[in-house]
Structure 1
Amino acid sequence: MLVVVEVPTLTEQADGAADTPYAVTVGADGARVAFLRAGALWVHTVATGAQRCVTPGPVRAYGVDGPARTAAFTVDGRLHRADLATGEVTEVDTPAPADDPHPDPTGTHIGYLDADTLRVVAPDGTDELLAGEAGVRWGRVDEASAQFGRTRGWWWAPGGGQILAVRAAGSVSLHLLDLYGGWVDVHWDRETYPYLVDVHWGDGGGPLITVLRRTQQHGLVLSIDPRTGETQVHAELADARWVEPVAGTPRHLPDGRVLVGGELAHDGFDARCLFADGSLLTPPGLYVRRVVGVLPRTGVPAAGPDLIVEGTDGEPAEQHVFAIRTAMVGGGADARRLTTEPGWHRAEVGGDVVVLASSSLAGPPTWTIRRGDAAVGILAAPAPASARQVPQPALARVTDRRLPAAVLYPPGHLSGNRLPVLVDLGLGPGHQQVVLDEAAWRDRRWWAAAGFAVVSVDSRGTPGVAPSFEKVVHRRLADVALADQVDALLALTGKNPDLELTRVAVRGTGLGGWLAALAVIRRHDMFRCAVARDPVTDFTRLPTALAERYLGRQADSPEVYAHHRLAEDPATDALLVLDRAADPARELDFIRHHTDRLER
């Protein structure tokens, strides 16, 4: 019999999270830390520990200069400049609503986007069009680049005199724009390498970019001469499935070497690593997720700076922050953990300051400011623990493929009481579900409180384990992902006998919605009903970059695309299709109806 308990709202589930800092930026000199909290812009002064609300908002995003003294942001399309040292805020007149504002590294000019044009405001308030043409998008992120994680479409030069900007007019090109007139085109073989994946322009040298072939199986890391726009190859990236660049790369190290993310897949190694001019910097047991920045080694000037990196060196449910030695002085690669407690840890860095965000299953993250080995401040006090019992998922690695899995029981569940099962696929392949981060479990705790044993499985195709684990789904995503979900469910019943496998529902969104629908259509013997929010029905309707990453080119293998297509009108009443914004109560009623009726 399905036990119905009082279900807290999703808003109640998120209590304590609204006041959590986010969008944290550390100034290049380590003097100030800017961040958003509940839509307001704040600044923390590291030397004194003082915190000030600069503007109550609503601020969705902001940009700062090099030392994080000057900030630029918009409120309802109106541009503002803020002095983060004094707290003074002034509105800046613009001819039209502004978007994506960023001060130059010196804090004198502010660049921003006006629709599809790029404009710059001078210190005297003069507002000038830097780039704009009819039917052309300047400075925007194109659809393909968004699939690779690139979130910017224009970048200041370190000295502030130039802007590197994307021009999208059918195809994507890149241009160096001089504030005082003229531009230079960046030259690479755009026909062969159409995808502009990563761009970085730091203090260590000229711009660096990563470009990929349309097949995504080969790429180049190129340096750009900012005077001529000519490019030079620094590294080649290749993979028979697809190249997966490491976030935060490429970039120049302080000694001039170029840092590139890559993979080791020979001699028993299976890892995402970092290389500097071809030399391995990271131990093969470390799965690198993101390069945060560079931190000087205090008291050891000859040793060179450390790289601050987010990655995993054990259980994929955890992410830690590491200091990676950049100087190769014997002993091989060296990675030192800066975080030790189990959880999901992130970082930002500037000067000699590291800000660590540490999450667990107990509550929202705490942001700790560290200088050297000492904690010198926090951005916000931890939220008080709820008096209500908070259920914790039981994590495991199951099947011979060691799939990360978790079972979340309802509050107060007593062993021996059989429960209906809800398999939560989230956003589906490519997105980890089994992580030690409270924010990832809010929806699932709501479903557990409704009386379900909520199961999450990171099937093959999910990042965080190893490159081979992630890429084995190439051209056979449906078969591999669905088989892993079924096998994991069967394996979990060994240590979780209260899972009632005759009453299994499945839900997901996007690609997760596609997999949920596929599960109830192709494996109705296991999955009795499914809810698909905004599901992908046909991979040809996805952005080309995303579809071809998993399935290759449709022209080469139309049968692969046909195998992954959902029927337009599947002949089953066990599938509910919703949009992303639909009321969760509709899901709950549908799933309860289908899982409960099997008992009667």
Structure 2
Amino acid sequence: MLVGVEYPELADRTGRFRFGAPHALTVGDDGARVAFLRSAGPRDPAAALWVLDVATGALSQVAAGPVPAYAGSANLDVLAWAHDGRLFSSVAGHIATAAEVLDPRPDPAGQHIGYVTPDGSLRVVSGSDDQLLAGEAGSGVSWGVPEPVAAEFGRDRGWWWSPDGSQILAVRSTGTALSLHLLDLHGGWVDVHWDRETYPYLVGVRWSGTGNALITVLRRTQQHGLVLSVDPRTGETQVHAELADARWVEPVPGTPRQLPDGRVLVGGELAHDGFDARCLFADGSLITPPGLYVRRVAGVLRRPTGGPELIIEGTDGEPSEQHVFAVRTALGGGTASARRLTTEPGWHTATLGGDVLILDLTVTRGAAKVCTLPSLAEPLVYHPEPVLERVTDRRLPTGVLYPTGHFDGTKLPVLLELGDGPGHQQVVSDPARWQEKQWWADAGFLVVTVDTRGTPGVAPSFEKVIYRRLADVALTDQIDALHALTGKHPDLDLTRVAVRGTGLGGWLAAAAVQRRGDLFRCGIARDPVTDWSDLPPAYAERYLGSRADNSDIYEHHRVDASAPTLLISPAGGLSEELTYVTRFV
């Protein structure tokens, strides 16, 4: 029997503990300063901008909230942000501009501040001078604004300062067409040359320490890409690396980048001689061990002795955990190796600059701890203890949450949580990710979460086997995992199973109810996708291939949102969802 529960606030479904926690951390290149955003408390979403002086450990508030985002010069001696379309800096306060301000960014030396405008122009402020660098107002052409498809590759920027602040590399987009240009502050500019017809997607941009820019471009099919070095004088490009995969190329965040010794670091996959790994390569040489699944490159840390180290976030065997590792970058003999810097189980992150490293919120310089950035966040609402294990011959990561105070031998209905779809992990060692699931468990369910094939963190083959058959693979994995879990969790009542998901997870919930109504009594689809043709082509084609060549596959992945046992729920409405599920299970 379901128990009556009171719907807690859960603060925008992620918990009040999110407000008041330091976030958007940045460390200056010289390690002298750390900037971050933090609100005044658990019920205050308006974040203020703070700076830590690493030498003294002193904290100072640079700007009261709301500061939604900020950017800094190389050493963070100048910070800039926008509020209500007005420009502010940590040095000059409010700065008058000729237009409404979006995405302001100081140059590395802090002498100029560039920004984009709502009409898609790119401007630069130098003292009292506000210069139009590029713009075609009223033409539908945007400069410096990330084109819509950029978000599908995790790119949220459309322009980048050169290391010496003399140039800006900017995207020019006209709907679906994209080009890249080098603009100098005196009105000159050159095009960046590559075969844009063959490689239309610009995945990433990063300036190197030598003054060249590195860009990653992909074919429309996303099965082949190039890492190119851009000559800032001529715009000509040189191929540094090729990326290829029979399914899709998945660049590692934080790459490509130039290492201190001049080699170019790229992410790739090792799929031969028994290896199945996501690794890093420097000019083609493997520098991370095959057993380490690389998730992100955080940067290069300067050490007082022993040379610089590459700091990465990754997983070394347990996909529910993320740890921080140091990798030696110097040339030399020996096999690739990595040294783990985090010891406690969990989901750890790294931020760094110069010789300063922040692990989660703990700031260290060399071997010495500086401080832990203070959090004003409210403690977690719940303290969930999911039972994590891997099941079936595919070793699917799973988590089972019991109601608080559950007695063994009491069978309970099952809620299968599907999350947000492929590319999103749910089974992670982070209590914050289990808050809403624990609410459902305390409402009288055994909550089950399965990271099916298609989920990152295990191995490239595990991730990409879903190509062109996502619906069948994902649904099979969910069903097989449920049956496998009953051996260790006999209180799972598989005669009463509900399924719930968001976005593409909502799409899979609808597919589960329609295709396997014998197992799934009802489903909740929050903001679901029903037709993959409605998704951006860059996203849909990554998993299903070209619609022109695979129309039957797109039709196979279509779902009917009008199923009688399916609730289409907008964001929010947990109480309504609980009432609906109770009718069936």
Shorter-chain TM-score range? over 0.9
Q: CA deviation at 1:74?
A: 1.0
Does 2:148 correspond to 1:149? Answer: no
Residue 103 of structure 2 corresponds to which residue in structure 1? 100
- Equivalences for residues 402-413 of structure 1 within 5 A: 402-413=395-406
SS at match of 1:490: helix
Residue 4 of structure 2 corresponds to which residue in structure 1? 4
After superposition, what is the alpha-carbon deviation per residue over 1:22-68, rounded to whole angstroms, capped at 9, x for unaligned?
10000000010000112111111111111112112111110000001
Residue 242 of structure 2 corresponds to which residue in structure 1? 236
Taking the aligned partners of 1:526 and 1:56, their CA distance within structure 2 comes to 53
After superposition, what is the alpha-carbon deviation per residue over 1:314-367, rounded to whole angstroms, capped at 9, x for unaligned?
10000011111111322211201111110000011100001111xxxxxxxxx0
Does 2:467 correspond to 1:474? Answer: yes
- Equivalences for residues 196-345 of structure 1 within 5 A: 196-300=202-306, 304-345=307-348
- Equivalences for residues 506-517 of structure 1 within 5 A: 506-517=499-510
Q: CA deviation at 1:116?
A: 3.7
Taking the aligned partners of 2:76 and 2:431, their CA distance within structure 1 comes to 30
Contact 1:7/1:449 (8 A) holds in 2: no
- Equivalences for residues 309-388 of structure 1 within 5 A: 309-357=312-360, 367-381=361-375
Contact 1:7/1:450 (8 A) holds in 2: no
Q: Which amino acid aligns with 2:425?
A: Q
Q: CA deviation at 1:232?
A: 0.3
Number of residue pairs matched by the alignment: 574
Q: Which amino acid aligns with 1:193?
A: Y
Taking the aligned partners of 1:40 and 1:99, their CA distance within structure 2 comes to 18
Taking the aligned partners of 2:116 and 2:558, their CA distance within structure 1 comes to 38
Q: Which amino acid aligns with 1:24?
A: L
Q: CA deviation at 1:391?
A: 2.6
Contact 1:205/1:252 (8 A) holds in 2: no
Contact 2:505/2:528 (8 A) holds in 1: yes
Residue 393 of structure 2 corresponds to which residue in structure 1? 400
Taking the aligned partners of 1:399 and 1:328, their CA distance within structure 2 comes to 42
Residue 491 of structure 1 corresponds to which residue in structure 2? 484
Query: In structure 1, which of residues 47, 72, 87 is the aligned counterpart of residue 80 of structure 2?
Result: 72
Does 2:565 correspond to 1:574? Answer: yes
Taking the aligned partners of 2:5 and 2:407, their CA distance within structure 1 comes to 14
Unaligned runs of 5+ in 1: 84-88, 358-366, 596-600
Taking the aligned partners of 2:430 and 2:243, their CA distance within structure 1 comes to 32
Query: In structure 1, which of residues 58, 72, 76 is the aligned counterpart of residue 66 of structure 2?
Result: 58
After superposition, what is the alpha-carbon deviation per residue over 1:127-174, rounded to whole angstroms, capped at 9, x for unaligned?
111111121011112222211111111100000010000111131110
TM-score (norm. length: structure 2): 0.96
Q: CA deviation at 1:495?
A: 1.0
Q: CA deviation at 1:236?
A: 0.5
Q: Which amino acid aligns with 2:565?
A: A
Unaligned runs of 5+ in 2: 40-46
Residue 364 of structure 1 corresponds to which residue in structure 2? none
SS at match of 2:50: strand
Taking the aligned partners of 1:78 and 1:536, their CA distance within structure 2 comes to 37
Contact 1:453/1:499 (8 A) holds in 2: yes
Taking the aligned partners of 1:377 and 1:464, their CA distance within structure 2 comes to 31
Q: CA deviation at 1:383?
A: 5.8
Contact 2:347/2:428 (8 A) holds in 1: yes
Cα 1:13/1:513, change in 2 over 3 Å: closer
Does 2:165 correspond to 1:160? Answer: yes
Q: Which moved more, 1:528-537 or 1:122-131?
A: 122-131
- Equivalences for residues 107-146 of structure 1 within 5 A: 107-133=110-136, 134-146=139-151
Contact 2:384/2:431 (8 A) holds in 1: no
Taking the aligned partners of 1:13 and 1:80, their CA distance within structure 2 comes to 30
Residue 456 of structure 1 corresponds to which residue in structure 2? 449
Does 2:580 correspond to 1:586? Answer: no
Contact 2:211/2:232 (8 A) holds in 1: no
Taking the aligned partners of 1:335 and 1:588, their CA distance within structure 2 comes to 46
Cα 1:212/1:316, change in 2 over 3 Å: same
Q: Which amino acid aligns with 2:206?
A: H
Taking the aligned partners of 2:237 and 2:275, their CA distance within structure 1 comes to 32
Contact 1:6/1:449 (8 A) holds in 2: no
SS at match of 2:298: strand
Q: Which moved more, 1:408-417 or 1:336-345?
A: 408-417
TM-score (norm. length: structure 1): 0.93
Does 2:29 correspond to 1:28? Answer: yes
Taking the aligned partners of 1:582 and 1:129, their CA distance within structure 2 comes to 43
Q: CA deviation at 1:385?
A: 5.4
- Equivalences for residues 512-523 of structure 1 within 5 A: 512-523=505-516
Aligned-pair identity (%): 65
